[in-house]
């Protein structure tokens, strides 16, 4: 890598094995359902999360949008954490394109909505009110430093949804980070939801794509919505080939990214002026900030690190997010700690 990039795991390049698989992929027209590599990826992805069928989509954002539009209509309400990715970082798609109203609730330190508040937020059948249709969940939870939420929360939300006839969608952009961190199979989490998306292009390192999974009937409808949104791709086996390598080779090794994130947090904790709690690192993200005594702000620090070709994201005027991935190893972690120490202390 010509740069050391901690801004996100989305920056991860495809692996050599992926580039080879892409070059050699068997392809067909996927809108006709004739791309064998896409079909294999969709079947394997669905099996991995215990669902009947899968659908390759262009991004996590498109996967969430397709899932919402396929399960809720105009004026319907979706219950969702107020700091969820689908609320904050997806351009308001559920409202602007689907007419779906997000009903946002507070989340705890791990990104969980309070179950009593969740159940009380469900609307009674009254002509004044929108109809609650959907509950939107996320795991790992990005706004909570990548917290890995255990399966019992999903089981409890499922019970509430069943009592009220609601559907449940999981934004599992980093589902496998959560599952690996919790040491459970992904299906221990996804068995409690109707639909789930996960990203191939984050920690799993593929260049493009997410997979949306659910029942065969749901995916049949989702395929129409994907087409509506301009997401029907033709020889998409080129993309799916990298996705198959991701499923084969890149899931278990996410544990390495988590170990590197902890290593980074421990290193950062040795720098005077950096505030970080290594014990809070659960997956591949480290959130940290500048102590009050530091005169620089986050933008100054980012500029100075960039001069050394080291990239990190800000989370506010004095705070940062660093994300580990396949192209970040112990050497890159050590270099980052060394350079940041030099930026603060000369």
Contacts with ligand PLP by CB under 6 A lie at: 59-61, 85, 138, 142, 171, 173-174, 199, 201, 210
Three-state secondary structure string covering the chain: CCCEECCCHHHCCCCHHHHHHHHHCCCCCHHHCCCHHHHHHHHHHHHHCCCCEEEEECCHHHHHHHHHHHHCCCCEEEEEECCCHHHHCCCCHHHHCCCCEEEEECECCCCCECHHHHHHCCCCCCCCCCEEEEEEEECCEHHHCCECCCHHHHHHHHHHHHHHCCEEEEECCCHHHHHHHHCCCHHHHHCCCCEEEEECCCCCCCCCCEEEEECHHHHHHHHHHHHHCCCCCCCCHHHHHHHHHHHHHCCCCHHHHHHHHHHHHHHHCCCCCEECCHHHCCCCEEEEEECCCCCCCHHHHHHHHHCCCEECEEEECCEEEEECCCCCCHHHHHHHHHHHHHHHHC
Which residue's beta carbon is nearest to the bound ligand PLP?
60
Q: Which is nearer to ligand PLP, 169 or 294 (CB)?
A: 169
Tokens, residue 208: 């493009």
Q: What minimum distance in Å lies between the beta carbon of 214 and ligand PLP? A: 17
Q: What minimum distance in Å lies between the beta carbon of 139 and ligand PLP? A: 8
Q: What minimum distance in Å lies between the beta carbon of 61 and ligand PLP? A: 3
Q: Taking a C-beta distance cutoff of 8 angstroms, is the pair 195, 67 a contact?
A: yes
Q: Which is nearer to ligand PLP, 87 or 344 (CB)?
A: 87
Q: What minimum distance in Å lies between the beta carbon of 85 and ligand PLP? A: 4
Q: Which is nearer to ligand PLP, 142 or 267 (CB)?
A: 142
Q: Which is nearer to ligand PLP, 85 or 260 (CB)?
A: 85
Q: Which is nearer to ligand PLP, 133 or 174 (CB)?
A: 174
Q: Which is nearer to ligand PLP, 175 or 302 (CB)?
A: 175
Q: What minimum distance in Å lies between the beta carbon of 207 and ligand PLP? A: 11
Q: Which is nearer to ligand PLP, 88 or 299 (CB)?
A: 88
Q: What minimum distance in Å lies between the beta carbon of 242 and ligand PLP? A: 14
Q: What minimum distance in Å lies between the beta carbon of 206 and ligand PLP? A: 11
């Amino acid at each position: 890598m010509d740069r050391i990039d901690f801004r996100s795991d989305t920056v991860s390049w495809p692996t050599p094995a992926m580039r080879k698989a892409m070059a050699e992929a068997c392809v067909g027209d996927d809108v006709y359902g004739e791309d064998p590599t896409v079909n294999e990826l969709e079947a394997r992805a669905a099996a991995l999360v215990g669902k009947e069928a899968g659908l390759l989509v262009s991004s996590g954002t498109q996967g969430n949008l397709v899932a919402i539009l396929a399960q809720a209509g105009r004026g319907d309400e979706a219950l969702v954490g107020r700091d969820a990715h689908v609320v904050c970082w997806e351009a308001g798609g559920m409202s602007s394109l689907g007419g779906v109203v997000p009903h946002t609730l507070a989340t705890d330190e791990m990104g969980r909505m309070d179950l009593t508040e969740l159940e009380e937020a469900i609307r009674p059948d009254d002509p004044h009110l929108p109809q609650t249709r959907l509950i939107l969940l996320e795991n790992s939870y990005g706004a909570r430093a990548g917290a890995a939420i255990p399966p019992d929360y999903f089981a409890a939300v499922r019970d509430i949804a069943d009592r009220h006839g609601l559907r449940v969608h999981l934004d599992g952009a980093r589902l496998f980070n959560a599952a690996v961190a919790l040491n459970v199979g992904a299906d221990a989490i996804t068995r409690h939801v109707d639909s789930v998306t996960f990203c191939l292009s984050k920690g799993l390192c593929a260049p493009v794509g997410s997979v949306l999974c659910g029942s065969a009937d749901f995916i049949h409808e989702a395929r129409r919505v994907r087409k509506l949104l301009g997401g029907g791709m033709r020889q998409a086996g080129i993309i799916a080939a990298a996705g198959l390598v991701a499923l084969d080779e890149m899931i278990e090794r996410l544990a390495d990214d988590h170990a590197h994130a902890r290593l980074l947090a421990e290193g950062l904790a040795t720098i005077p002026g950096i505030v970080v709690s290594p014990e809070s690192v659960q997956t591949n993200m480290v959130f940290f900030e500048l102590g009050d005594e530091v005169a620089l702000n986050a933008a100054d620090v980012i500029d100075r690190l960039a001069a050394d070709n080291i990239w990190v994201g800000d989370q506010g005027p004095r705070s940062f997010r660093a994300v580990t991935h396949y192209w970040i190893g112990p050497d890159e972690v050590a270099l980052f700690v060394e350079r940041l120490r030099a930026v603060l202390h000369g």
